[in-house]
Amino acid sequence: MTPVDANTRLKEIYGHPVGRDAIDKVLLQLGRSSLWVRNPVVANLRLSTVARLVRPILGEEFAPSLITVLADHNHHHEPDAASGGDPTPSGTPAAQPPWWRRAVFYQVYPRSFADSDGDGVGDLRGVTSRLDHLADLGVDCVWLSPIFDSPNEDMGYDVRDYRAVMSEMGTLADLDDLIAGAHERGMRIILDLVVNHTSAEHAWFRAAVADPDGPYGDYYHLQPGVPGEDGSGPPPNNWASFFGGSAWRWLPEAKRWALHLFAPGQMDLNWENPRVRAEVAEIVRWWRARGIDGFRLDVINYISKRPGLPDGNEAIGALMGFPGIEHYFFGPRLHEYLRELRATGFTRTAQDPRPPSTVRSRGADGTLGVPEPPDPVGVLVGETPGVGVEMSRLLSGARRRELDLVFNFDVLDGPGKVRWDDYRYDLGYLKGFYLDYLARLGPDDAIALFLDNHDNPRMLSKVLGTRDRDPVLRSAAAKALATIQLTLPGTPFLFQGQEIAAINQDFAAAAELKDVESVNRLAELRADGVAHEDALARVRPGARDHARVPMRWEPGPTTGFSTGTPWQVGREDSVGFTVAEQGADPGSVLSFHRDLIRLRRAEPALTDGGFRALLPRSREYFGWVRTAPGDGDDWLVEVNLTDRTIKRPRGLPAATGVLGSHGLARGPRMAPYECVVARVLIAG
Ligand code: GLC
Ligand code: MG
């Protein structure tokens, strides 16, 4: 497309994938509808006019910043000219969709999953001891949050050694057992690859500090201090750390500033350096040879920073909360780096050793078969904070050969809301989000469906607010969320605890919050003079700690997680919401997840099928049909999105309930959060 400048009309900017996402993002953040841009009068405005209109809100520099970011990606959105694609295993028809399209992923936060040795910290043997739970649930792929050697300033998201297991989690041999155990049960296993940054204790960084002009100095973003001021002067730019304060730290030993977008011990790697990229590819190959089936790539959209690391626009910084973000959240060389990493790290070559084990196949009825050949390409799941739908497509469209799946975080909070806000999430927004997302996907695109992870409070609690303690509503809403996640088109990612309707904790004291982000945020609020109770109330709703409390395996003070003193304690102890209790109850949330996943496996419509929304505009009723790809049955799925009894709409396809939160009858009304999965009856 022609380069964007001040004369470009808004509709043309909106026609550019990055422009569209940027505009949608701003509108979402301001709590406005994107319909606004489609108004013909608005759509025809030139950027210079828009810039004048939004100046009071977004400042002088908004338009020039937008022009710069769009210019980075002017060519990247054109269809990939290169022919071919990933290699397919011999004997597999190329048309066969990759395994992860039909898979259910399950994220384990190992520190809080199961502790085998009583030291209070979850570990690898603990995970192995619970693999049967995951296999029974029907999980296809387990993702482990970081387990590599780390000083744990950010719980493993600060890696000291990419080829070693952190001591409290076990040994490499334990990991080999876990990989084999997963494969044996028909489950793949992926790890977290945290390569936007390393720990400051990584050997590369230590070498860089010791000799900033030596070969490792260029592995990181090191910058000299302001002359004569010995680093007491201003940092190289105004970028902010996600965990508070400046993104720069002065290294007195090296007389350099070092960039850290996260904690001061998480040093950003310089991906401009080809040696850094080669090291990362080597790490991936090393783990693939050990049997790891792929990676979730941590904040992978941040790896390409704009050369020169210019100051961030203050208005964008204020709007998004982090000055500088437009210079790295979708940087100029991102696509190039991802393609290279996929080709050189994730793609098997003929010389690559066969891993010690590969996953056993699993039939539609769950029966295990023989081990499959190694995957030609390890799966790449990108954690991509801030990207919108069009950017997601640019990163994960199959023919682009970058990532396979990405997480789009816009589903997690309603318009104008951020994670820290205390509010009740409206599932009507979630419906609109997915309908829009699904409508924009082409045959080449994939979508990851997730509602919870280790960085967010529980969606169930956001939906229910304080009513999450009501066992009836809690079960119903958890089943509704499961139904949405497991039967919409896409690849679901469950996070540990979702299957037992885990909810938020009412952390009563600051000391109960352990996460670096919560701790820093509390300290900042206190330093700003906010009273202790108020500060806690402003951190609690968004704290990542909610997701990091020990898994509730059974009733009792340590919830079957550990025989020792757990490193972190949950405050939620409702009767009936542990794996043991739920496993024994066929009507439980856990059983419902298991039944849904079983149905998914057996019914091609639910994975490969088409999708048709019913009553797309209703904010209380979410209904859709999954149409069978072959001669199988079509399925109707219905969810009451509210905590009220609603009327079931008329004129729906005739269908018989097969799974339901409130029984299988489909009467004139739907109970609060009621959901039903029903087989469509063929007329005639
Ligand atoms: C990702 C991780 C988060 C971590 C951050 C820095 O967002 O999910 O837990 O703090 O990256 O690595
Ligand atoms: Mg332990």
Q: Are 149 and 164 in contact (CB under 8 A)?
A: yes
**For atom 4 of ligand 1, which residue has the closest CA?**
157
User: Does the beta carbon of 638 lie inside 6 Å of ligand 1?
Assistant: no
Pairing between β-strand 379-383 and β-strand 294-297 as defined by DSSP bridges: parallel
| 476 CB-near residues (< 8 Å, 6+ apart) | 661, 662, 671, 672, 673, 674, 675
Could you give the CA distance from residue 457 to residue 546 in angstroms, rounded to a whole number? 5
pLDDT at 535: 97
Could you give the CA distance from residue 655 to residue 565 in angstroms, rounded to a whole number? 51
Q: What's the CATH number of domain 102-197+273-508+538-583, 3.30.1050.10, 3.40.50.620, 3.20.20.80, 2.60.40.10?
A: 3.20.20.80
User: Does the beta carbon of 262 lie inside 6 Å of ligand 1?
Assistant: yes
Could you give the CA distance from residue 103 to residue 51 in angstroms, rounded to a whole number? 45
Q: What would the pLDDT profile of 92-117 be if each residue is shown by its tens digit?
A: 445 689 999 999 999 999 999 999 99
pLDDT of 656 > 60? The answer is yes
Could you give the CA distance from residue 186 to residue 297 in angstroms, rounded to a whole number? 23
Confidence of residue 87 (pLDDT cuts 50, 70, 90): low
* CA of residue 155 to ligand 1 center, whole Å: 9
Q: CATH 2.60.40.1180: which residues of the chain? A: 609-680
Q: What would the pLDDT profile of 205-262 be if each residue is shown by its tens digit?
A: 999 999 999 999 999 999 998 766 566 688 999 999 999 999 999 999 999 999 999 9
Q: Which of 298, 445, 633, 643 is catalytic?
A: 298
Q: What would the pLDDT profile of 185-198 be if each residue is shown by its tens digit?
A: 999 999 999 999 99
Could you give the CA distance from residue 684 to residue 673 in angstroms, rounded to a whole number? 32
Alpha helices in 387-515 (DSSP H): 389-396, 427-439, 459-464, 471-487
- Determine the 3-state secondary structure of 180 from DSSP: helix
Q: Which of 383, 445, 512, 634 is catalytic?
A: 383
| 61 CB-near residues (< 8 Å, 6+ apart) | 313, 314, 315
Could you give the CA distance from residue 23 to residue 15 in angstroms, rounded to a whole number? 11
Atom of ligand 1 nearest to the CA of 197: 12
Beta bridge partners of 259: 248
Q: Are 46 and 67 in contact (CB under 8 A)?
A: no
**Fold of the 609-680 domain:** Immunoglobulin-like (2.60.40)
pLDDT at 81: 43
The Cα-based distances of 65 to 17, 73, 389 in angstroms read 16, 13, 20
What percent of the chain lies above the pLDDT cut of 90? Answer: 85
pTM of the model: 0.96
CB neighbourhood size of 255 (10 A): 13
The Cα-based distances of 44 to 9, 331, 378 in angstroms read 5, 28, 45
Q: What's the CATH number of domain 199-268, 3.40.50.300, 3.20.20.70, 3.90.400.10, 1.20.1050.10?
A: 3.90.400.10
User: Does the beta carbon of 445 lie inside 6 Å of ligand 1?
Assistant: no
Q: CATH 3.20.20.80: which residues of the chain? A: 102-197+273-508+538-583
Q: CATH 3.90.400.10: which residues of the chain? A: 199-268
